[in-house]
Amino acid sequence: MIKILLAEDMHMVRGALVALLSLEPDVTVVAEVADGNAIVPAALRTEPDVAVLDIGLPGTDGLSAALALHQRLPRCRTIILTSHAESSNIARAMLAGVSAFLPKDAPPSRLADAVRRVHRGERVIDSEIVVAAFTYGPNPLTERERDVLSHVAEGSDVSDVAAKLYLAPGTVRNYLSAIMSKIGARNRVDAIRIARDRGWISEGRAPS
């Protein structure tokens, strides 16, 4: 039986993945967490064979958690799930010892197959992820835009961001407008999601 640790912050998605994986005769989910900071403690406690990690987790992001798992529990294989990917994330994944990179909307059968393959010691990099990584190209955000969006992603409002970065609130709003325009986001929450999924800002606490 292949023991799985699943890390996904969206309750409904996590529940669906647990239910689908539990239907597989040779797979059992031994731990499920919603926060990246909980991954290593849960893995040390349950000793899974494979960890399935969302790349965009609050707390420690999926790639950083994968590296920590590789160092603390090297026999545990890791699979990263992502909506989008940047070429730098694929490179980080390889350095972190990640065994598989799959899109979050992959059919359950593909995830189950990847679990079995990485458990056998294989590496699985989905072709859609590779194409998407090079389609999106380099990070279009400036360093200051990344700083602003990262603070907003951590739960700071405009006045807080302005104080932390020594900017006027109007300037912060202008940065946010520029960011949304650059990456085609509908609003700030959408901008955070896109930037996190594509690896353009670091992971952190979800905005309240």
Q: Which two tokens stand for residue 42?
A: 């849960």
Q: Which of 139, 155, 140, 146 is nearest to 175 (CA)?
A: 146
Q: Give the residue-averaged pLDDT of 126-151.
A: 77
Does residue 160 register a pLDDT over 80?
yes
Does residue 150 register a pLDDT over 80?
yes
Q: Which of 18, 58, 105 is nearest to 203 (CA)?
A: 58
Element (H, E) at 142: none
CA distance 148 to 13: 29
> Between these two residues, 56 and 51, which has the higher pLDDT value?
51
pTM above 0.75, yes or no: no
Sequence-distant (6+) residues with CB within 8 A of 109 are none
CA distance 187 to 7: 26
Length of the chain: 208
Strand 50-54 and strand 2-7: the pairing is parallel
Domains parsed from the chain with CATH numbers? 2-135 (3.40.50.2300), 143-197 (1.10.10.10)
Q: Which residues of 195-204 are buried (b: 16+ CB within 10 A; e: fewer)?
A: bbbbbbbebb
Q: Give the residue-averaged pLDDT of 83-97.
A: 70
CA distance 207 to 192: 9
Residue 206: pLDDT band by 50, 70, 90 thresholds?
very low
Q: Which two tokens stand for residue 198?
A: 């594509």
Q: What is the per-residue pLDDT across 63-75, written as a single tens digit (0 to 9) for each?
A: 899 999 999 999 9
Element (H, E) at 206: none
- The answer to whether 114 and 102 have CB atoms below 8 angstroms apart is yes
Give the per-residue pLDDT at 143.
Answer: 84
Q: Give the residue-averaged pLDDT of 163-187.
A: 93
Residue 208: pLDDT band by 50, 70, 90 thresholds?
very low
CA distance 135 to 103: 15
Give the per-residue pLDDT at 128.
Answer: 67
